[in-house]
Structure 1
Amino acid sequence: EAGIKHKRTRPYRPQTNGKVERFNRILQEEWAYAKAYNSEAERQACYPDFIEYYNQRRPHTALKGASPASRVTNQPG
């Protein structure tokens, strides 16, 4: 739905699983538990903004401080 496809990581491939685990940790630290939300609905409402920030503006060490979006050459708009 909405262009999202479920992907499975390869078994016994820690390099791939590590990326997923790191993303999950970032979600916990910087979105899910970064502040006190009044409800789960309020937390969920903040998720799209966090993902936009994560992809467009958040500096990533692995990209030498660049954002993931800076690596994409065919972005709309």
Structure 2
Amino acid sequence: MLEKLQIVHKYTRVRRPQTNGKIERFWRIFEKQFFRKYEFLSNKDFNLKLMDWLVFYNTKRKHGGIKYITPMQKLENLLKNNLVCL
């Protein structure tokens, strides 16, 4: 899939979170805005809330790193401008 999209997979150095800022930030947001915010009654409850939160995160929550639009809007813009094809 990465080759088809001409994406280079870069590896980060072990025990160097500063070299992987985007995913480190995601985990901080996940912990603060999801994990600490909700109570989970079961695995099923956790999974349902997680899926709802991920939909919110990708389609409703605006991200500063992409000029305060949602990831879905960013993808739609890329597709509209033929910068990526799925």
TM over 0.5: yes
| 1:39 aligns to 2:42 (yes or no) | yes
The equivalent residue for 1:57 is 60
Q: Please, which of 14, 17, 36 is the counterpart of residue 18 of structure 2?
A: 14
User: Where do 5+ consecutive residues of structure 1 fail to align?
Assistant: 1-6
Higher normalized contact order (CA 8 Å, seq sep 6+, divided by chain length): 2
Give the paired residue count: 68
Alpha-carbon offset, residue 10 of structure 1: 2.3
The separation in 1 between residues aligned to 2:27 and 2:59, in whole angstroms, is 18
With normalisation by structure 2, the TM-score equals 0.62
Q: Please, which of 52, 66, 69 is the counterpart of residue 66 of structure 1?
A: 69
User: Where do 5+ consecutive residues of structure 2 fail to align?
Assistant: 1-8, 80-86
Deviations 1:20-72 (A, max 9, x none): 11111111111111123333432222111111111111011112221011111
Q: Is the 8 A contact 1:59 1:66 kept in 2?
A: yes
Please list every run of at least 4 consecutive aligned residues from structure 1 whose deviation after the TM superposition is greater than 6 angstroms: none
Q: Is the 8 A contact 2:59 2:72 kept in 1?
A: yes
Q: For residues 9 and 24 of structure 1, do their structure 2 counterparts lie closer, same or farther at Cα, with a shift above 3 Å needed?
A: farther
With normalisation by structure 1, the TM-score equals 0.68
- Structure number with greater Rg is 2
